[in-house]
A and B are shown apart, each in its own frame.
Chain A
């Protein structure tokens, strides 16, 4: 899917490069500014750093175009730059919806464990981002614990935000122990880190220190700008896109400056503001449009993208959630984004999660992946032989061609209602929401640890600050 012509993309890119060169980015870290200045990058007294074209291009050329975000069991490795789309959830919300009472409460460590366990079982959610804040954890050993619960519950690739360099160290020590050593982890990193610049055009010191730490340890990362059109970016889609692109390129370039060749994703988490109220409109159609165009901008530089879709402003897993998620997932998928986060579990403009929403989103993503697989056209699928065999007035139900093709050809939803009316009422008039709720209950009741007992014991001995959720 292309919303902009090649020429328009070029114009946006040119504008972004002018922003980096003429406006510059603020780097809130003296050490990094000094190192940049020593490398000949113009640094101004107001902490702004101007990224000129030749310097920028040299840094971007060092960024790997293809790398893999590994799963622990090899079943869900994410090959970035392969042309395939991978959808996953989004993280760091602060409240969770209890479907039974329709009430919200602050999220806890057990919600990290539960969401990881669900994602582990949901086929089309290809990676797990630490879903929420654990309000029952003390800050001192926070990331030891939230990452531990993620690793304990899923073998899929785990990504997470970290609050501090110390948090990144805690995560790394834990992951290295699970991997069986720092080098094994570096070889097949099954964990990666999210950092964000501050829009507009500002990079803070701790984010840069985290990026550098990850680079040195071989942990993939992104520095993903999240400009809000109308608030922290211009109230035009093109303007927001230009600024987003500048911020994303600056993130990649600085990561390469700090550690050349480090695996880093171009990040794009654009959204818009509803200017009637100044409420975030992250489910808006314009949010989807900007994020769609960012894919072409990242790919213009051969960079894999950490993109955004499947997000809603709806409070409940309702119709609004369905249409907002469906539209943006499909758009980003058809744009060919490598890695699409926020696409599962979230509600309430990214402030809340609901366990049931993960299951519902898995189904939306299954539909989306089915569309992306396209239509197979071959002698076999054109079925001339079968059509001749069945003939006028026959049916295909028992023809071998049907059995041969029916599994691969169709997506079989598990939540969508397709029952006949009578059967449906007999079953108690289920909806996707009620079916998702039942699945969640059943799955969590039966979920098992994804770390073996000896390793759990080793980790608990080595890191006594790990607590039970």
Chain B
């Protein structure tokens, strides 16, 4: 089957068109794994390359990611249980005392677009809430965000809480946000620092691959 129309719709971020094409293909009895691999994921690879080259803006890339997610929802019931593998799972939140969420939401959207399963804990997330989520969700990565330099210490508190709960070795920790630096990540014992949403995806992929 020619999947170029579906790929093009994903690249264009045309949600309705992509959903329609996916549904048609499923109804026609196409293999969902082929639709996923050769239609959706290959399209997202192109999107990622174009974004890296500066040919696409963030909203375009996110729309493509959203398009892929919606198509994936159509495919999901047609896979046998467990046959679709996620790139990895990440528990994400803005740390305690901080209510800023746009940056964290961008990271979440981009990670989902890249095939990660994201558990978004929202804003003002206390260390114990991170600990609880890690013990229940068993993620590969914990991602923390802070916009204020005054809330950055919550990141250190969370790392400490995970250690005390005996969960530190089970996860990789990635942090980001305007005042956060690579040096700070090192100081508090986080594994990675990502300066923006695009690099968060790249670093998350590397963290999962190296784990």
Residue positions of A touching B, CB distance < 8 A: 395, 397-400, 402-403, 406, 420, 422-423
Please, how many angstroms separate the alpha-carbon atoms of A400 and B17 in the complex? 14
B106–A397 touching, CB < 8 Å: yes
A395–B182 touching, CB < 8 Å: no
Complex contacts, B13 vs chain A, CB 8 Å: 403
A395–B63 touching, CB < 8 Å: no
A398–B109 touching, CB < 8 Å: yes
List 19 extra interface pairs beyond A398-B62, A403-B57, A406-B59, CB under 8 A.
Answer: A395-B102, A395-B105, A397-B58, A397-B59, A397-B62, A397-B105, A397-B106, A398-B59, A399-B59, A400-B63, A402-B59, A403-B59, A403-B60, A403-B63, A420-B195, A422-B181, A422-B182, A423-B195, A423-B196
Complex contacts, A399 vs chain B, CB 8 Å: 59
Complex contacts, B178 vs chain A, CB 8 Å: 420
Please, how many angstroms separate the alpha-carbon atoms of A420 and B178 in the complex? 8
Q: Is B66 an interface residue (CB 8 A)?
A: yes
Please, how many angstroms separate the alpha-carbon atoms of A406 and B109 in the complex? 19
B196–A420 touching, CB < 8 Å: yes
Interface residues of B in 27-83 (CB under 8 A from A): 57-60, 62-63, 66
With both chains docked as a complex, state the minimum distance between the C-beta of A316 and any C-beta of chain B, in angstroms: 29
Answer whether A398 and B102 are a contact pair too, CB < 8 Å, given A406-B57, A420-B196: no
Residue from B63, B102, B178 whose CB has the most chain A CB atoms within 10 Å: B63
Complex contacts, B106 vs chain A, CB 8 Å: 397
Identity of the chain A residue whose Cβ is nearest the Cβ of B195 in the assembled complex: A422
Complex contacts, B195 vs chain A, CB 8 Å: 420, 422-423
Complex contacts, B63 vs chain A, CB 8 Å: 398, 400, 403
Complex contacts, A402 vs chain B, CB 8 Å: 59
5 interchain pairs, CB-CB under 8 A = A395-B102, A397-B62, A397-B105, A397-B109, A403-B60
Complex contacts, A398 vs chain B, CB 8 Å: 59, 62-63, 66, 109
Please, how many angstroms separate the alpha-carbon atoms of A423 and B182 in the complex? 11
Please, how many angstroms separate the alpha-carbon atoms of A287 and B102 in the complex? 46
Complex contacts, A423 vs chain B, CB 8 Å: 195-196
**B contacts with A: majority SS:** helix
**A contacts with B: majority SS:** helix
Identity of the chain B residue whose Cβ is nearest the Cβ of A424 in the assembled complex: B195
With both chains docked as a complex, state the minimum distance between the C-beta of A383 and any C-beta of chain B, in angstroms: 14
Identity of the chain B residue whose Cβ is nearest the Cβ of A404 in the assembled complex: B59
Identity of the chain B residue whose Cβ is nearest the Cβ of A420 in the assembled complex: B195
With both chains docked as a complex, state the minimum distance between the C-beta of A312 and any C-beta of chain B, in angstroms: 31
Per-residue CB contact flags for chain B residues 96-128 toward chain A (1 = under 8 Å, else 0) read 000000100110010000000000000000000
With both chains docked as a complex, state the minimum distance between the C-beta of A255 and any C-beta of chain B, in angstroms: 48
Complex contacts, A422 vs chain B, CB 8 Å: 181-182, 195
Complex contacts, B66 vs chain A, CB 8 Å: 398
With both chains docked as a complex, state the minimum distance between the C-beta of A204 and any C-beta of chain B, in angstroms: 53
With both chains docked as a complex, state the minimum distance between the C-beta of B113 and any C-beta of chain A, in angstroms: 10
With both chains docked as a complex, state the minimum distance between the C-beta of A129 and any C-beta of chain B, in angstroms: 32
Identity of the chain B residue whose Cβ is nearest the Cβ of A401 in the assembled complex: B59
Please, how many angstroms separate the alpha-carbon atoms of A398 and B67 in the complex? 11
Please, how many angstroms separate the alpha-carbon atoms of A426 and B66 in the complex? 31
Complex contacts, B60 vs chain A, CB 8 Å: 403
Please, how many angstroms separate the alpha-carbon atoms of A459 and B195 in the complex? 56
With both chains docked as a complex, state the minimum distance between the C-beta of A411 and any C-beta of chain B, in angstroms: 14
Complex contacts, A400 vs chain B, CB 8 Å: 63
Identity of the chain A residue whose Cβ is nearest the Cβ of B67 in the assembled complex: A398
Please, how many angstroms separate the alpha-carbon atoms of A402 and B58 in the complex? 10
User: Which 5 pairs across A and B sit closest by C-beta, in order of nearness?
Assistant: A398-B62, A422-B195, A402-B59, A403-B59, A423-B195
Please, how many angstroms separate the alpha-carbon atoms of A402 and B59 in the complex? 7
Please, how many angstroms separate the alpha-carbon atoms of A400 and B106 in the complex? 16
Complex contacts, B102 vs chain A, CB 8 Å: 395, 397
Please, how many angstroms separate the alpha-carbon atoms of A399 and B58 in the complex? 12
Please, how many angstroms separate the alpha-carbon atoms of A422 and B181 in the complex? 7
Please, how many angstroms separate the alpha-carbon atoms of A406 and B58 in the complex? 11
With both chains docked as a complex, state the minimum distance between the C-beta of A393 and any C-beta of chain B, in angstroms: 9
Complex contacts, B59 vs chain A, CB 8 Å: 397-399, 402-403, 406
With both chains docked as a complex, state the minimum distance between the C-beta of A386 and any C-beta of chain B, in angstroms: 12
Please, how many angstroms separate the alpha-carbon atoms of A420 and B181 in the complex? 11
Complex contacts, A420 vs chain B, CB 8 Å: 178, 195-196
With both chains docked as a complex, state the minimum distance between the C-beta of B1 and any C-beta of chain A, in angstroms: 28
Identity of the chain B residue whose Cβ is nearest the Cβ of A397 in the assembled complex: B59
Please, how many angstroms separate the alpha-carbon atoms of A469 and B159 in the complex? 65
Identity of the chain B residue whose Cβ is nearest the Cβ of A396 in the assembled complex: B59
Please, how many angstroms separate the alpha-carbon atoms of A406 and B181 in the complex? 30
With both chains docked as a complex, state the minimum distance between the C-beta of B145 and any C-beta of chain A, in angstroms: 14
Complex contacts, A406 vs chain B, CB 8 Å: 57, 59
Please, how many angstroms separate the alpha-carbon atoms of A402 and B105 in the complex? 16
With both chains docked as a complex, state the minimum distance between the C-beta of A54 and any C-beta of chain B, in angstroms: 61
With both chains docked as a complex, state the minimum distance between the C-beta of A399 and any C-beta of chain B, in angstroms: 8
With both chains docked as a complex, state the minimum distance between the C-beta of A29 and any C-beta of chain B, in angstroms: 58
Please, how many angstroms separate the alpha-carbon atoms of A397 and B195 in the complex? 19
Please, how many angstroms separate the alpha-carbon atoms of A109 and B58 in the complex? 44
Interface residues of B in 83-97 (CB under 8 A from A): none
Please, how many angstroms separate the alpha-carbon atoms of A47 and B27 in the complex? 94
Per-residue CB contact flags for chain B residues 189-203 toward chain A (1 = under 8 Å, else 0) read 000000110000000
Please, how many angstroms separate the alpha-carbon atoms of A399 and B62 in the complex? 9
